[in-house]
Every structure is written in C-alpha cells, then in structure tokens.
Structure 1
Amino acid sequence: MSLASVAPSSVDQDRLAQEEPSQRFGFLRVTTVEGGAQNLVGPTAPPGRRPAGAIGVGIHIKGTAVLVQDDRAQRCAPGDVFVIDMARPYTVRELGDFRLHFFRIPVAALGVPDEDRTVLWGVHRQSGDGVVQLLAPLLEAIADSVASYSQHVAHRLAGSVTDLLGTLVSERTVSERTDSGAPDDNADRTGMVRRIRSFVNENLGDRELSPEMIAAHHHVSVRYLHKAFVSEGTTISRWIQQRRLEECRRELARLGQATSSVAAVAKRWGFVNAAHFSRSFRAAYGISPSDWLRVRSAGGSTAPHDQDTGVPLLAG
C-alpha cells in the first residue's frame, strides 16, 4: 500500500504516548484508546524528551487502521498486532470508529539486539499460524482486566509478553531466511547443527563447554564446526554466550526464586567470571543483571521512570 493511497484525517494527536491515561502492569504501561476516524501520531515531544528505549505494541479490537512508519503503510484489522519504534515518527490512521489496546515496553526488558528488532516493526496478522496467535489473546486479556492482577502476577505476565515478542523475533528471522530461497545443499550439515544446538542447550551449565569439546563429542573438526555455523549468521562461541545470557535473564526474572545471587546464577549457567558476565549482560540487554533482578523481583519500584511517559529507564 502506498502512502498516497491513504487519505489523511483532520485530527492529529499523540494519544498513544501522552494524552490517554495509562495503567502500569508490571514493567509495562497499558493504554486503551477509542473514538472515531482520526490520526494517532507520534512522537510529538522533542527528541530529548521522547521515551528512551521503548517500543509500542498495539492490538486492534474494533475498526480498521493504517499503520505508517518508515515510509511504509500497512492495513491493520481487528485482532492484528502492530509494533512500532516509539522514538521514530509514526501514524496510526484510524479509518472509522475504533478501539485498541496499546502497550509501552522498555527495550531493555525485551532483551533483543537492535539489529534483530527490525523484524518486529509493522503489522502481524493473527489469522495465520505462529506466535501472534498466542500473543494477541494475551494482550487483550491483560488490557481488559489490568487492575485485577496482583503485582506478582502482573510482572510474570509482563515477562510472558516480552518472551513471546522475543519468540516472534526468532520466528520471523527463521521465516525470512527460508523465504530468501537460499538452497540448503548440505542436509548433513543442517542435521549436525540441529544436534549441536541440542547438545549445547543440554550442557549450558558446563563451564568446559567450548568449540573444541563440542567438536570432539560429535567427531568432527573444529574447522567443520565453525563452517557449519556460518549459515546460522553467528559463531558457535557467540551463540553459546547468547543462550547462557538468555537463561540467566529468565532465571533472574522468575519471581519467588530471587534468593540466589547474581553471581550464583551466572555460575550456574557456565559463566566463570562475574565481571565478564555483568558486562556481557548489559551489552546484550542494556541493563545490569542486578538492576534486572530488582526490576523483576521487586515490582520495578527501584527503577527510575520517565516523568512524562512512566516508562522505566532501564538502559541507564
């Protein structure tokens, strides 16, 4: 759909980010917006006062809209989920009477690298198979009964939202690689990568886990092992660290199990050096592991918030 084909509305306002009252749900902010045909635009604040490191996730309950961001226009129907970068200009053009739920999510809580988040921007249909079929009903249920959940449950459900968004990134990334049409001329190598991934996931806590150990276990050379992972867009060592960080992040986020120290969690998942773990965690998620533990286990009350938006400033 071209931008020229979308007739502009006579009303332009930033109701998603500022004007509508929002409710806190764990580390999320939830807003319900409804009305007649209009443009919901943003950000209207100057760059220095825009929500730092936040994405917006909306689900349309009633009405049809056109989402415009980065010179791309996509139609959004009831049940569809859309994702926007709130730091860059966007317009949600409502074409008639509508109702939608909108969630503001700190990028640091999402835990997805900048380059991987690009697959999230735009409209995701609930009509097809995949993660959106799980995500959309969860967003709607949360928005319809925000006040009914305890703080403990709210944080766990907020974590489920970010986990599903992370899974959506993985789903879309795999789909893009498949759609690229790159021929898999080595089925044996594909099977080997699958077995290696399974082996790594089963042995993440082993501090001796290394390319040399993995190659010896699978009776291949280290050179072959590295070559097998070239098509995965990463190295085996980098992927091992990514998986360890993911498991540390999940464990630190589990409420009711926060008795372990950050160092103990890091050691349990194979990190030998606590300082290296802390640096790696912050580089991956934009927040230190101790701050992440406090935000997820203490209801987020220890994290500073943007005065205008209420978005936790987790990346500082």
Structure 2
Amino acid sequence: MFSVVDTLSLPAEDRFDWWCETVARGAAPTRISSDHAADFVGRVEMLSVGPLEATSISFPALTSERTPALIKRSDPETYELTLIAGGAMSVAQARREAVLSVGDFVMWSSSRPYTGQGRSSADSGPSRGIVLHLPRRLLPFPQSRVEQVLATRMPASGGIGAILAHHLQTLFQEGPALGEPEGARLGSATMHLAHALLAQQIDAREYVEPEVRATVLLARIEAFIEENLADPQLSPHSVAARHHVSVRTVHQVFRQRHESVSAMIRRRRLERCRSDLADPRLRHLPVHAVAARNGLGDPAGFSRGFRRAFGLPPAEYRRMLREGTTGARPGR
C-alpha cells in the first residue's frame, strides 16, 4: 500500500492542520509549531510493505514535541528509526540530544517525551527524512539495550549504515510499483537491515537471527559487486574471499534473489554499459572501451550479450540514441 499527499494540493489555510493530523496518524500524536504555519509546504509518502510501515517526509522548519500527556492519550509503542535525507534536524530524548545532518540515522521512542526540530534554509532546502516505524514488540533486543541509543547520532557513511541508507532510498523509488509478494520480501529485508544496524550500535549481534545475518550478507555482497564491476576478476570466488565465506555460502544467500551471483554480475555490467553508451560525456570512447571499463574484456562476447539483453548490438544502440531514433529496448 502506497499513498502520497502534498500540502500544495490543499488550501493554504488548511495545510498546517492537515500536516499535524497526518503526523499523528502516521507516527504518534505530537504538538507541532512552525513559523510557516500560515502557508505550510510539506509532503508525506506512506508505504506499507510486508511487516514494515515507512514514511518519507519533507517539511520546512518546525518544532515537534511529544509530551507525557500525549503519550498517556495514545502510544503505538514504536521506535522511529529515521534517516536524514535533506536539511538538518535535532532530536532530544532520554537526557540526550543529537544534532543531525544528511546521511545520519537517529532513533526515538514513542513511549518517552521528546523534542524534535527540523531546520531548513535557502542553502539546505527543507528537512527531509525517511522514517521506519519499528514496533517495540518485534525487536529481538532487550529494551534496556535499545534505549541506550535513543537520540544518538548514527552515521551512515559506511558499513551496514550506508547499505541501509541506500536501501531506504530505493525502497521509496521501487516499492510502490511492486506486487504484494515482492513487497513483502522487500519489507522483511528492510526490517532485517534495520535490526542489523541496531545490533551493531548496541553491540548485540548475539540476538540477531540467522535469517537476518543472511540478508545482511546478501546486502554486503550486492554493494561489493556494485563497487567492483570494473574489475575483470570479479567472480563468485573473489566475492567469497572478500567476505571470508565459502563460495557455497555465497550461492546459498543468493537464492533469495532468484538470480545467481554470476548472472547478477553480468546483468549489472551490461546495464552499466548501456548507461555509458547513452552518456554524451563518454561518446569519445569506442564501444570496446566502454565494455572494458565495466569489466567486459571480450568485445565479441560483449556484443552478443548486449544484443540478447537489449535487442540490438551496442554500436547500433549508441547510433540510434545519437540520431534520436527509437527501436531499442532499453528497459528490458
């Protein structure tokens, strides 16, 4: 289930009240104030996939407070794990305060009072975030350990944090178009990655289930493949060696994808080549050089593979794009 509402579709005098009501339904009731209340410009995208509820949110500068009275009135008993995707924010809870910028994660609890601020400026634009609503009862960790990281900055510059951040961006790009079975699998994978991030932050890997470990290993392998497509030696064996597991283990975790490791490497190399061939900045490169820069050193094999994947040889594909004609199947 996917829904999106932009305040610009509403009369200016109704926008801020609508925003406050939407936030209360999507997360938990809060008291919101903003200097932009008279003409509030915000956007909310809500996505439900499998066990996961997620929200992508964009808004101008504001202050949000969850008070003891509001908690007593209604408490969904969730942890709100949030990726800062634009602007700057701060969150104060449990006698801690986190000052956050793009690329940071932060989490707060709906069961404790907190204050959040979104800061926007002409340079940074509106505050934007992607929020995972994690039911407290579904987390495998002791509550006392989880609450150690409330209102604590969790950088997403590398490791599992970077993988989860990229995954969340993709979630809102691709999730709305997926069918129910695919959406359920995507929701479970997202939940597993969130659990892995929290396990790392609270040093509680012993609570992570084998299924979660397999999902995280798959995500790490996929990220490694994306970063090393140009390496002609990239293979299931090199992937296994880099992650200190057996080749058999690599093939096992890829069963989740219904695509072999080698097939993924081949597909992504061809897709990169297709993108490069369409890039005007690379028009000086011969077709075989485009293939080589993406790890495909056999020109004849590349041409055959490209034609099978996209319906015509790479040189003809590039020519058709330059001439502005159609007939290729770039989306295949």
Structure-2-length-normalised TM-score: 0.45
Structure-1-length-normalised TM-score: 0.47
> Which is greater in Rg?
2
